[in-house]
Amino acid sequence: MTTRLAILGSTGSIGTQALEVAAVHPDRIKVVALAANSNDKLLAEQLDRFKPSLAVLADGAAADRLRARYHGPARIMTGEEGLTAAATLAEADTVLTSLVGFAGLRPTLAAIEAGKTIALANKETLVAAGELVTALAKEKGAAILPVDSEHSAILQCLQGERPDTVHRLILTASGGPFRTRAREELATVTVAECLRHPNWAMGRKITVDSATLANKGLEVIEARWLFGVDYDRIAVVVHPQSIIHSMVEFVDGSVKAQLGRPDMRLPIQYALSVPGRWPADFPRLDFAALAGLTFEQPDTGRFPALALGYEAGRRGGTAPCVFNAANEAAVNAFLAGEIGFPDIAALIGRALAAHTDVAAPTLGDLCAADAWARSFVDRLIPARK
């Protein structure tokens, strides 16, 4: 059976790797829609190679450039209308959502409303709106399959297991490039240093999130909604080698782990093939060559964003949305050179402390909380005053 795939975020790290998987399996995957933000040059190349029926650029000027450079049959759309069209395209049965940040929420909700299978690489969707998204998915019978390597690992470990046998989920973290830095040295971290992840090649925002451990906070909240496990049964352990991608501990004390080289193509392909597996020539592990596998407790004193993620998740309501929005705003400010590395977590903490939670939020409540958090952080950045 051929998977008819729409990719939201096709020019980003996950999107380009998903297209690598599609290129290896042309008999299994038919790309029917591609959507991106503003990279019209790369999108034009993707259109020529994969020949989808719909192309979308969120940026209107970029869409105009695409119309000038591309002369193929794909229909070209722009803005939120275009993203929604790609997410709900009748031809598509699966939508891979890898748009960055809160911007991925509305298209993902539209895809769920249309009954699509969701291959979810936009963790912010479940962080900001987990209750809303999972309720709609249940109502529409839409499967949500994780693309994140950690959640894919858990999904793989849970295959064939009963939910009542699960004791806890254990998410692994590389610890980022500053795992061994003293607290006082973190104030001098540069953007260039932060973007040199020791194991993974990822986009700028997620690479910074990995360095602050905010990414693990986001993943803890995402895991709660994906797998229906409460926060007291979701643990994080630092595993610098990034060989074990996550683990599940069962009630009898047995632990299952999913191992592999740090290569996002594997979880992407698994999300598209589950419950089966497709052959691939991904790099294999050479166990004899491994120097060792080590584990540490995360240091939330030096990296408080992880603890803030747990706090936001346990508070529920609009708090996770505020955690996500404040983090996005702070990371953007750091990447722009406007704040220091430790300021990212400090700004998240101040936003959470100042926010009044709304329980059982509607989409309107979430959009308001998102806008409030971004504005709150913006007002605290000295360069913008």
CB 152 within 8 A of CB 267: yes
Please tell me whether residue 150 adopts helix, strand or coil conformation: helix
Distance CA 32, CA 93 (A): 10
How high is the pLDDT of residue 123? 86
In a domain? residue 295 = no
DSSP state of 53: S
Residue 102: inside a domain: yes
For residue 236, give the 3-state DSSP assignment.
Answer: strand
**Residue 275, preceding bond cis, omega within 30 degrees?**
yes
What's the token pair of residue 294? 């080590």
Domain that holds residue 52: 3-146
Rounded Cα distance, 362 and 318, in Å:
9
pLDDT of 385? 64
Ramachandran angles phi, psi of 315, nearest 5°? -65, -35
| Segment 182-195, tens digit of pLDDT | 999 999 999 999 99
Token couple for 46 = 């993707």
Q: Phi and psi of 141, rounded to 5°?
A: 70, 30
- DSSP per residue, 165-212: GEEEEEEEE---TTTT--GGGGGG--HHHHT--SS----HHHHHHHHH
The three-class DSSP label of residue 73 is coil
33 assigned to some structural domain = yes
**pLDDT value for 115:** 96
Is position 254 within any domain? no
User: Does 290 fall in a domain?
Assistant: no
Sign of the Cα torsion 317, 378, 123, 125 reads positive
**How far out from the chain centre does Cα 135 lie?**
20
The answer to the question of residue 355 being in a domain is: no
Does residue 113 belong to any structural domain of this protein?
A: yes
Does the residue 276 lie in any domain? Answer: no
3-state secondary structure of 306: helix
The domain that holds 54 is classified in CATH as 3.40.50.720
Return the residue matching tokens 């910074």.
208
* Contacts by residues 70-75 (CB-CB < 8 Å, ≥ 24 positions apart): 70/44, 72/47, 72/48, 74/47
First to last CA, the chain: 57
Residues lower than pLDDT 70 in the chain: 199-201, 385
Which tens digit of pLDDT belongs to each residue from 235-288?
999 999 999 999 999 999 999 999 999 999 999 999 999 999 999 998 899 999
Number of structural domains in the chain: 1
What pLDDT sits at residue 177?
Answer: 92
